[in-house]
Amino acid sequence: MNFDLRGTISKKEGIALEFGGLFGFLLIWQFFAMRVGSVAILPSPLQVMGCFPELHFTDFLVRNVMFSLSLNLMAYAEAILISIPVGFVLALYTPIGALVKRYVDAIRYIPLTAVTGLFIAWLGISMNMKVQFLAFGIFVYLLPIVIQRVKDVEEVYIQTAQTLGASKWQIIWKVFRPAVLSKVSDDILVITAISWTYIIVAELINNEGGIGALIFRSARQSRLDKVFACLFVIIVIGILQDKLFTFIDKKIFKHKYIQQGNK
């Protein structure tokens, strides 16, 4: 096995290490659960797995998961569709960018839970409000990244396009668009997970269901086994979501993975 700094490992070695890490984590978890000896403080892995039938038949786990997924997917789509064009405009047109740059950077420091009241006042307590709140949570972090990605496009590519007689719109479409989107796709994979961190806040408003609301209700009932089980479900969703986004990314930006394969 290669232990060089930033070395590479085979796919088989990677899978083996992943399973080894999972097994080690479960052993440590089981050890501490046995030492604590109380399901109300730290349930064991077996106790967590054992509560899934109750979650499914009594707490309607699947329905709540689908509700949360729909909220997040709509929030992802809206945040991405707004952040990318706005980021291009602010980065490419200097006067407009200078007008709002400082405020775009500063908005990241707003505690999102503190603006919940504003969204309720503006949009009520409907599902649309929850989507807008989650989309805003992604937007405030994704927008500065898009702006920076546009600025990171190397000048040599722009000058080459200008030498070939490309117009401004052709430079934007043929140079900036592919260069920026191929990198922003990696950022989206990381940033969209933010909406899951605020899912409880969104779903508790006019509780219509969702896994976040289920976690909160289980915690209030001191059912930590259910809380851990729901967190496990979210982790699995996150892993599957990452794999789906990576699959889509490989189909759209094939050149990135060709370059990686040649290294």
pLDDT in tens, 113-169: 888 889 999 999 889 999 999 999 999 999 999 999 999 999 999 999 989 888 999
How many Å apart are CA 258 and CA 64, to the nearest integer? Answer: 40
pLDDT in tens, 49-86: 999 999 999 999 999 999 999 999 999 999 999 999 99
How many Å apart are CA 65 and CA 55, to the nearest integer? Answer: 11
147 — phi, psi (to 5°)?
Answer: -60, -45
What share of the chain in percent tops pLDDT 90? Answer: 57
What the chain holds in terms of domains, given with CATH numbers, is 1-36 (no CATH), 43-262 (1.10.3720.10)
Which two three-digit tokens encode residue 102? 């400082």
How many Å apart are CA 176 and CA 178, to the nearest integer? Answer: 6
| Helix residue ranges per DSSP H, 198-263 | 199-204, 211-220, 224-252, 254-262
Average pLDDT over residues 179-188: 92
- Yes or no: say if 142 and 83 are a contact pair by the CB < 8 Å rule: yes
Confidence check: pLDDT of 262 > 60: no
DSSP-derived 3-state class of residue 15: helix
How many Å apart are CA 87 and CA 99, to the nearest integer? Answer: 13
pLDDT in tens, 28-45: 999 999 988 888 889 999
Which two three-digit tokens encode residue 163? 């030498």
How many Å apart are CA 8 and CA 96, to the nearest integer? Answer: 44
Which two three-digit tokens encode residue 212? 């976040």
Average pLDDT over residues 234-241: 92
Confidence check: pLDDT of 261 > 60: no
